[in-house]
Amino acid sequence: MLKLIRIILSPLTILYAFIIRLRNYCFDKKIFKITKVNAFVISVGNLTVGGSGKTPTVVYLAKLMKKFNIKTGILSRGYRRNTRGYLFVSDGKNIKKTVDECGDEMYLISSETNLPTAVSERRVEGAKRLIKDSLIDVIILDDAFQHRWLYRDIDILIFDQRFLTKTGQIEQKLLPLGLMREPFESISRADAIIINRKFSEKIDIPEALKKYFTNKTIFNGYYLASGIFDVKTHKEYSLEEFRGQKSLVVCGIAKPYSFLNVLENNHIDITNKILFPDHKNYTLKEIQTIRKKFYETNAYSVLTTQKDAVKLIKYSKELDDIDIYYLKIELKLEEQELFEEFILSKLKKTQIPNVSLT
pTM (2 d.p.): 0.94
201 alpha carbon, distance to own chain's centre: 21
How high is the pLDDT of residue 56? Answer: 97
Q: Where are the alpha helices (DSSP H) in 68-116?
A: 99-102, 104-113
DSSP summary character for residue 216: -
pLDDT of residue 358: 55
User: For residues 173 and 182, what is the distance between their CA atoms, to the nearest angstrom?
Assistant: 9
- Weakest-pLDDT range from 43-47, 265-269, 299-303: 265-269
User: 31: exposed, middle or buried (C-beta count within 10 Å: 0-12, 13-18, 19+)?
Assistant: exposed
Peptide bond preceding 176: is omega within 30 degrees of 0, i.e. cis? yes
Q: What is the pLDDT of the chain when averaged over all its residues?
A: 94
Q: Please list, in sequence order, all residues whose beta carbon lies within 8 angstroms of the beta carbon of residue 79, skipping any fewer than 6 positions away.
A: 103, 105, 143, 279
Residues ≥6 apart with Cβ < 8 Å to 210: none
55 φ, ψ to 5°?
A: -60, -50
For CA atoms 175, 176, 177, 179, give the dihedral sign: positive
pLDDT band at 340 (very low <50, low <70, confident <90, very high): very high
d(CA 107, CA 216): 33
Torsion, Cα 347 353 355 358, to 10 degrees, reads 80
**What pLDDT was estimated at residue 319?**
94
Which range among 75-84, 150-159, 227-236, 344-353 shows the weakest confidence by mean pLDDT? 344-353
pLDDT at 357: 57
In angstroms, the CA 238 to CA 251 distance is 20
Examine the pLDDT at 296 and tell me if it is beyond 80.
Answer: yes
Could you tell me the pLDDT band of residue 51, with boundaries at 50, 70 and 90?
A: confident
Q: Which residues are bridge partners to 220 per DSSP?
A: 195
Q: What is the CA radius of gyration of the chain?
A: 21
Does residue 52 carry a pLDDT above 70? yes
- In this structure, what are the phi and psi dihedrals at residue 173, rounded to the nearest 5 degrees? -95, 160
Which has more confidence, 129 or 8? 129
Angle formed by the axes of helices 54-67 and 104-113, nearest 10°: 20
- Say if CB 32 and CB 148 are below 8 A apart: yes
pLDDT number for residue 40: 96
Q: Which domains does the chain have, with CATH numbers?
A: 2-222+332-347 (3.40.50.300), 224-331 (3.40.50)
